[in-house]
Structure 1
Amino acid sequence: MAVSDAVRVLDPDVYAAGMPWAELDRLREAAPVSWVDEPDGGPGFWAVWRHAETRAVLRDPATYSSWLGATQVRDPATPADLEYVRAMMLNMDPPAHHRLRGLLTRSFTPRATANLRDRVDGHARRLADRATEAGGEADFVALVADLPLLVLADVLGVPDGDRRLLYDWANRVIGFQDPEYAASDTVSGADGLSAMARAALTVRPVPDPDGRMPDPRTRTGIPDLYAYAHALAEHRRGSPGPDVMSVLLGQVDEEGGRVSVAEFENLFWLFSVAGNETLRNGIPGGMAALLAQPGLWERLAADRSLLPAAVEEMLRWWTPVMCFRRTATRDAELGGVAIRRGDKVVVWFSAANRDPRVFAAPAEFRLDRPGADHLAFGHGPHFCLGAALARHQMAAMFGALLDRFAAVEAAGEPVRLRSTFQNGLKRLPVRLTAR
């Protein structure tokens, strides 16, 4: 019996081998919205494949809620797990979402943002210098992995020596379907850790006899992150620094309230995971796009004014976050189908960002593609708060590499992340030719 396209796009093993573009294209062209049965016994959901319908869902939180069932495709295992994820800003609806987002937005002051941009530029130059010193062949993923970690450490006020904790936490949460990432531990036994980090490591979970870690999308599944976030909040309340999180802890909302420790912990989780993985997948994905078309590197080197458009096209063509879930609050009609109250509705960014109704020749990577109407950062109230900083990181990293290398070529087969959520690369061998 032939395996259906919908079954294939829900299979993490498929993504480990390569993006199922043919299946996504067929599903999108067959219907804007279609029903998908979940292979793990879940209730099934409406999958939204096209650009217009995806935008319609994301801009209407009154009909398509982030809070009701949270934003993971798979339902939380227990009512307690659902309550836990509902407390995160990512899974809130207005007005609760507006309150936290407003406090966070105000914390990115012009001074703090300008300082972050300067630090991003410096981090990118130093990483490019390190690559120049190494020379020859390298794993591009490892080469650039430190950039989002360094920037997040700046944003969160995390001591530089602790930043690899952010790497492991993101691996465990995003890579829960990939055995290599699910038990990621690059920190234990490392020198230079703060007392906060050493204390957090004492409560880090260990794999069970079958090598499985507890579900990291529950509070009990990643207690080391929460222990660290709690300690950091206490430290920054007493000794605020120039970082965004210190500013956030001092903010007062319209009713005179401040960010609670629990809210800070959940925001720390969000930044540690989302702020890390989107860039860690987006930058290697951008390089994969350039490697796929010889001549693009030279073209960008000759005309740096093309770099902002190249970053947008990288995000569209690669699309780091592939899908997100909403839950219908009431009966509705979408793409010609009847959505019932309580139905799961999953928007598929990967398919929407290659919708030929919006993007001409969508499978092609084009530096001269007009506009930036992709959905890599979402749309509507939950549009990624860090989008501008993420774009700057990508432009800074590629700009620094273009300054130092005359050519970059593939030096082996890439190794992909086993995930139905993140379009990730674990390794990308490249050959670097210095100028």
Structure 2
Amino acid sequence: MTGGDRTPAPRPGPTTAQLPDVPDVFDPRRYADGLPQDAYRRLRDHHPVAWQEEPEVLGWPAGPGFWAVTRHRDVVRVLKDARTFSSHLGATQIRDPDPADLPFLRRMMLNQDPASGSPRRSDEAGSNDHGRLRRLVSRAFTPRRVDRFTTVVRERARALLTAAVAAARTDGDGVCDLVTAVTDDYALLNLADLLGVPPGERGLMLEWTRRVIGYQDPDEAGPAVAGADGRPANPRSPALLQDMFAFARELAAHKRRHPGDDVMTALAADRELAVPELEMFFFLLTIAGNDTVRSAAPGGLLALARYPEAYRALRGGAVAVESAVEELLRWHTPVLSFRRTAAEDTELAGRRIRAGEKVVVFHGSANHDERVFAAPDRLDLARTPNPHVSFGDGPHVCLGAHLARLQLRVLYEETCALLPAVAVAGPPQRLVSNFIHGLKSLPLRVAA
């Protein structure tokens, strides 16, 4: 059973006669003005697991609908319980992939289930590769290797910030767009160093990231490519990723001839890794590894600019930068949602969910759940404990979290060292996306 094109039959659950209407948190255009925290709060308080319609929007086809999960406790349960809530059955994006693309998408460990999560589903033999693939990439993507990049990362942060301040002073108004001047290059070049991508090829990584991550935003996605049905093709379909995969194969061949101390050298030399698996690793690391920091870094700096007392406390050493990183990740959640598919009939927060139906967790809501975070709308850089879910949870917790934390910590340290104050100089431009909490532009006053 796949969930079909039907609207689900009414299910017994909490009495809804006196409850507020269910707000829409699906439409990507809602996120262009920031996270819909009022809608999230209404869902958490009254409809913690709520059916959402999935109409046609921005030229993308309508879907069958899904269950939106907004409370922290329920989000964590879904992320941890791979046996009930599968990544393999329908992959991990809200939009249903073309069924013909599913075997291809299941090569990526993000779209697999751990072996312990799927012993009874005969169609999921390949999902047992999940643990093997995580072990393989962990051998290459180790904290030890990442730590070697700390010096380079620090030098890059300092150079980009210094150049941004100099340019802002030259222009005379002291203002720069932090996204284009600092954070886009910072995330991209750090990842390129880690992967071992040659300098002349690094612009391709940003192009691919924009295509895959920003596909809901016309400014980021570029001209839509039509599929066989005339609709915009899914940017994660095999046809639209061939250029990236060809580059991954060429880079791997180059690394076998000219090895370096980088992740692609390690992956290319691993005899356990098949070529299609290596291609999908490159896809995952390029897209997820780039865009998590690319989204989190300007979001954290925007928060510090809007709360100067918090910035002064961080700059003066009153709070530890490590705890500040965690709070800024909670405050500006970089990845907003992930999809699972119910593998069997189940119940969540009093709602009956049928096998085959989509279940979507909303990290940005879970990170502001009053049941877990005291005064969640207050930026508290010393907040502890801080069990945010910005890197997920369970068997798919982000493998690159160590690298992301390192980059964010260094960027905030160098910002504090170089800039006595930062202030918002204009409204930020946000990505039109219900998946990534991105900033396309962030005007900050960085120089007197």
- Helix, strand or coil for the counterpart of 1:70? coil
* Structure 2 residue aligned with 1:71: 92
Note closer, same or farther for the CA distance 1:413–1:66 as it changes in structure 2 (3 Å cut): same
Q: CA deviation at 1:50?
A: 0.4
* Structure 2 residue aligned with 1:47: 68
* Structure 2 residue aligned with 1:121: 154
**Amino acid in the other structure paired with 1:38:** E
TM-score, normalization: structure 1? Answer: 0.88
- Helix, strand or coil for the counterpart of 2:96? coil
CA distance in 2, matches of 1:144, 1:296: 21
CA distance in 1, matches of 2:209, 2:140: 23
Note closer, same or farther for the CA distance 1:156–1:310 as it changes in structure 2 (3 Å cut): same
1:226 alignment partner, one of 245, 248, 273: 245
CA distance in 2, matches of 1:285, 1:179: 21
- 349-358 or 109-118: bigger deviation: 109-118
CA distance in 1, matches of 2:388, 2:260: 36
Give the conservation status (yes or no) of the 8 Å contact 2:23–2:43: no
* Structure 2 residue aligned with 1:245: 264
Give the conservation status (yes or no) of the 8 Å contact 2:66–2:357: yes
Instruction: Determine if the alignment matches structure 1 residue 280 to structure 2 residue 323.
Output: no
**Amino acid in the other structure paired with 2:137:** L
1:92 alignment partner, one of 112, 116, 132: 112
After TM superposition, list the pairs within 5 Å mapping 1:410-421 onto structure 2. 410-421=424-435
User: What is the RMSD of the two structures over their aligned residues, measured on CA atoms?
Assistant: 2.0
Instruction: Determine if the alignment matches structure 1 residue 141 to structure 2 residue 179.
Output: yes
**Amino acid in the other structure paired with 2:208:** W
Give the conservation status (yes or no) of the 8 Å contact 1:58–1:379: yes
1:217 alignment partner, one of 236, 240, 255: 236
After TM superposition, list the pairs within 5 Å mapping 1:7-406 onto structure 2. 8-40=24-56, 41-76=62-97, 78-94=98-114, 95-109=128-142, 111-135=144-168, 136-142=174-180, 143-183=182-222, 214-252=233-271, 258-303=272-317, 305-406=319-420
Q: CA deviation at 1:111?
A: 4.4
Give the conservation status (yes or no) of the 8 Å contact 1:117–1:389: no
Deviation string 1:210-235 (CA, Å, 9 cap, x unpaired) is: xx974311121233212211211222
**Amino acid in the other structure paired with 1:146:** D
Note closer, same or farther for the CA distance 1:6–1:153 as it changes in structure 2 (3 Å cut): farther
Q: CA deviation at 1:336?
A: 1.4
- Helix, strand or coil for the counterpart of 2:64? coil
- 358-367 or 295-304: bigger deviation: 295-304
- Helix, strand or coil for the counterpart of 1:8? coil
CA distance in 2, matches of 1:341, 1:290: 44
Deviation string 1:137-171 (CA, Å, 9 cap, x unpaired) is: 10011122111111111221101222111111111
- 268-277 or 219-228: bigger deviation: 219-228
Deviation string 1:4-50 (CA, Å, 9 cap, x unpaired) is: 97563111221112321111110111132122222233221111110
CA distance in 1, matches of 2:309, 2:337: 32
Q: CA deviation at 1:250?
A: 2.3
Q: CA deviation at 1:324?
A: 0.3
Segments of structure 2 that go 5 or more residues without pairing to the other structure are 1-19, 57-61, 115-127, 169-173
Note closer, same or farther for the CA distance 1:213–1:133 as it changes in structure 2 (3 Å cut): farther
Q: CA deviation at 1:118?
A: 2.6
- Helix, strand or coil for the counterpart of 2:186? helix
**Amino acid in the other structure paired with 1:168:** E
CA distance in 2, matches of 1:318, 1:108: 25
Q: CA deviation at 1:88?
A: 1.0
Q: CA deviation at 1:206?
A: 7.3
Give the conservation status (yes or no) of the 8 Å contact 1:331–1:341: yes
Give the conservation status (yes or no) of the 8 Å contact 1:5–1:27: no
- Helix, strand or coil for the counterpart of 1:145? helix
* Structure 2 residue aligned with 1:187: none
Give the conservation status (yes or no) of the 8 Å contact 1:5–1:24: no
- 424-433 or 224-233: bigger deviation: 224-233
CA distance in 2, matches of 1:111, 1:15: 37
CA distance in 1, matches of 2:356, 2:226: 35
Deviation string 1:381-409 (CA, Å, 9 cap, x unpaired) is: 10000101101101101111111111111
CA distance in 2, matches of 1:323, 1:109: 26
- Helix, strand or coil for the counterpart of 2:447? strand
CA distance in 1, matches of 2:445, 2:176: 6
- Helix, strand or coil for the counterpart of 1:423? coil
CA distance in 1, matches of 2:35, 2:420: 29
- 348-357 or 297-306: bigger deviation: 297-306
- 288-297 or 417-426: bigger deviation: 288-297
Q: CA deviation at 1:133?
A: 2.5
Q: CA deviation at 1:380?
A: 0.5
Q: CA deviation at 1:117?
A: 2.4
- Helix, strand or coil for the counterpart of 1:407? coil
Segments of structure 1 that go 5 or more residues without pairing to the other structure are 185-204, 253-257
Note closer, same or farther for the CA distance 1:110–1:35 as it changes in structure 2 (3 Å cut): closer
TM-score, normalization: structure 2? Answer: 0.85
Give the conservation status (yes or no) of the 8 Å contact 1:5–1:23: no
Q: CA deviation at 1:114?
A: 2.5
